[in-house]
Structure 1
Amino acid sequence: MKTLVLLFLLIYASEAASQELQKEISVHDPVMIKQGNTFYVFATGRGINVWSSKDQVNWKRERPVFSEGPQWAIKVVKGFKDFIWAPDIQFINGKYYLYYCVSTFGKNTSAIGVATNVTLDEESASFKWEDKGLVLESIPGKTNWNAIDPNVFIDAKKNAWLTFGSFWGGIQLLKLNKDLVSVSVQNLKAIKTIANYERAANADAEETQANAIEAPFVFKKGKYYYLFASVGFCCRGSKSTYRMIVGRSKQVSGPYLDEKGRDMNDGGGLLVMKGNAYWYGVGHNAAYTFDGADFLVFHGYDAKDKAKPKLRIEQITWKNGWPSVASALRLN
């Protein structure tokens, strides 16, 4: 009996700890969405990390999306188990679409998949993630792009577009089929590069040689589509050079130009934010409108906490049609 009581107490303590609200949560490649009065963050991690919050300050850790790695991913990416990168969450036609990617680090052996759900509330009887499998794959020696860092957006004509890419051939644009989970052969042949960093004027040789651009995110504001991207190098502790740039276009297909008219496909891009003494590098951002205000959601490497990646949320202000972050990156 004592053993059963002890086991119950251990289980209760574990569940209570998982329900404990946290601030300054450690995430990498965060995206956010709001359902009802609850915000949800999805991020890179085993099975895809999930957090929820009522106020964007206090966060509760939820169960991962996947309890084990999708079987299709195990076949496509050799050595893959359950570590999933850079998700993107969208609510389209009454359903949540969670795009995600699997990859071999440092190679373009990568693939993008998608799972769907009708609710994000784990307490709902309708809550169930259904994996729809492979959307797009990149193969070394066969594709000059990397099928990673997906972002999906719907244009004014209700067409669905996938932007993606990391290093290699830069940022790509691809039209999805109407089912939102597949790509036609015709559209795959029409894939288009919309951002490249090999000829960037304000970058060092290592960045341009590696074409260090990734994590695209498209945000519609007024008459423009804004293409955000991260440039430089993440994941290097105090030597991380990650920073965010943006360009805009009246057409989905571009060209995406910066404030000086420079094409992002030719190394252009307006600097939105870079690291400082408090945050070594900042990037992999998403942009959203919540309750009438625009926000930049991203991760920064916390200088006061061993360069751990932390969730950052900053309000966007607009001047002459260009986004900026009003507050500087501070210690808090």
Structure 2
Amino acid sequence: MMTRPASMLAIGGLLASAIALPAWGQVADVAAMADVPGGDIAPVHDPVIIREGDTYYVFATGRRRGQDGIIPTLTSPDLRTWTAGPSMLADLPAWAKAAVPLARDMWAPDISLVNGRYRLYYSVSSFGSNRSAIGLATSATLDPASPDYGWRDEGLVVQSTAESDFNAIDPNFIEDRDGNHWLSLGSFWTGLKLFRLDPASGKPTDPAAAPIAIARRPAPAGGPAPVEAPFIIDHGGYYWLIASYDYCCKGVNSTYYTVVGRSQDIAGPYLGQDGSSMLEGGGTILLRADLPERERFRGPGHAGAMQDRDGTHYLVWHAYDKQQNGIPTLRLGRISWGQDGWPTVIQLDADMTTPADSRGDTGESE
């Protein structure tokens, strides 16, 4: 196991698993982040983060209690104090209700600025089924007070059915270094997939083409080995695939944890620090649950990253707060890239200066 400075987060406790676990890397103990962020940070599930102007935005799964609409939003001027904003959409579009009749919410949004317009990909599904779909909505701005604000439904992007070997949820957009556009997605079934997109429409270039497999976990005897929530970052000459292993959505009994692997090709193979392949359930553990003696924040996963104006990468994810009846809660840290090139998640200290005070948007959400 690698040593690291005292400012790095302590290693979380290892939960039992029926399959071989990925290698230990520089692993965040989410308890160290108990004081940051604050404000309206719960319930928040499957968060993704982006910045427009001087405001940071988080989009999340589902509906917020006491608020109309789907896809709740949070805003912050400094990454430390978050305020609930309006939900993004009033309801599921008609095409989504027809494609997935059991769906009631939108899950796992992903936000990017592409060609001067914000693209929000979202999932429509129901638990335990791969009759799922990913849709797209776009807006000229994220600011509800702007006269240019308003989300336009762009329709279906990718769909899976009972006959598919993948599950069309948990989308993440990335543009590679050659200007090609891609969408990663997936949960359970045969793992995480990658689709090439048409830059103009944001939809697959060839809807009939088979997706590229980028991560899977061989199932042990007696049950599945879950993998979901892909997010790809381009940094230091590598593409970095972040994914969640094991089970979310069980409150304090959730066994979710977060792994990372890297590849020089966006299509993989993605390997952990020890060379283990994410196509074989490998990778390097990035986020783990609290140490046993604390046991507050459980099941950290479904991470989303943002590169700020000064080049700093921030990571958001949810974890289940044992002190608050297991409510899913927003967590946030800064990614530090070590001399060996591998990432570590570092807490945001209470006296941290406001980040990235320069002007001008990068428009990047990864």
Q: One fold, TM greater than 0.5?
A: yes
Partner of 1:317: 336
Asked if structure 2 preserves the Cα contact closer than 8 Å seen for 1:170 and 1:211, the reply is no
Asked if structure 2 preserves the Cα contact closer than 8 Å seen for 1:169 and 1:211, the reply is no
Q: Which runs of 5+ in 2 are unaligned?
A: 1-37, 64-69, 349-366
The structure having more radius of gyration, on CA atoms, is 1
- Cα-to-partner distance string for 1:12-58 (whole Å, 9 max, x where unaligned): xxxxxxxxx93433200000110000011100013111111111222
Q: In the TM superposition, what are the counterparts of 1:209-220 in structure 2 within 5 Å?
A: 209-220=223-234
Asked if structure 1 preserves the Cα contact closer than 8 Å seen for 2:332 and 2:347, the reply is no
1:205 & 1:228 partners in 2: Cα distance? Answer: 26
Partner of 2:286: 272
Asked if structure 2 preserves the Cα contact closer than 8 Å seen for 1:132 and 1:181, the reply is no
Distance 1:188 1:229, change over 3 A: farther
Partner of 1:165: 186
1:104 & 1:280 partners in 2: Cα distance? Answer: 23
1:121 & 1:327 partners in 2: Cα distance? Answer: 28
Distance 1:182 1:23, change over 3 A: closer
1:160 & 1:44 partners in 2: Cα distance? Answer: 24
Larger relative contact order (CA 8 Å, sep ≥ 6) = 2
1:180 & 1:322 partners in 2: Cα distance? Answer: 34
Match of 1:304 among 313, 323, 328: 323
Distance 1:327 1:40, change over 3 A: closer
Residue 95 of structure 2 aligns to a residue whose secondary structure is: helix
Query: Pairwise CA RMSD of aligned residues?
Result: 1.7
- Cα-to-partner distance string for 1:114-164 (whole Å, 9 max, x where unaligned): 000010111111111001010010000x21000000001000111110100
1:241 & 1:64 partners in 2: Cα distance? Answer: 29
Note the C-alpha offset of 1:205.
5.7
**Aligned residues between the structures:** 299
1:238 & 1:124 partners in 2: Cα distance? Answer: 40
Asked if structure 1 preserves the Cα contact closer than 8 Å seen for 2:251 and 2:328, the reply is no
Note the C-alpha offset of 1:326.
3.2
Partner of 1:53: 76
Distance 1:96 1:58, change over 3 A: same
Partner of 1:29: 46
Partner of 1:7: none
Note the C-alpha offset of 1:79.
2.7
> Percent same amino acid at aligned positions?
42
- Cα-to-partner distance string for 1:55-80 (whole Å, 9 max, x where unaligned): 12222222211112111001000133
The answer to whether 1:234 aligns with 2:256 is no
- Cα-to-partner distance string for 1:195-224 (whole Å, 9 max, x where unaligned): 01116xxxx766xx3130000000011100
2:150 & 2:201 partners in 1: Cα distance? Answer: 18
Deviant stretches of 4+, over 4 Å: none
Q: In the TM superposition, what are the counterparts of 1:140-155 in structure 2 within 5 Å?
A: 140=162, 142-155=163-176
The answer to whether 1:118 aligns with 2:113 is no
Asked if structure 1 preserves the Cα contact closer than 8 Å seen for 2:40 and 2:84, the reply is no
Q: Which runs of 5+ in 1 are unaligned?
A: 1-20
TM-score by length of 2: 0.79
TM-score by length of 1: 0.86
Question: What amino acid is aligned across from residue 326 of structure 2 in structure 1?
Answer: A
The answer to whether 1:250 aligns with 2:242 is no
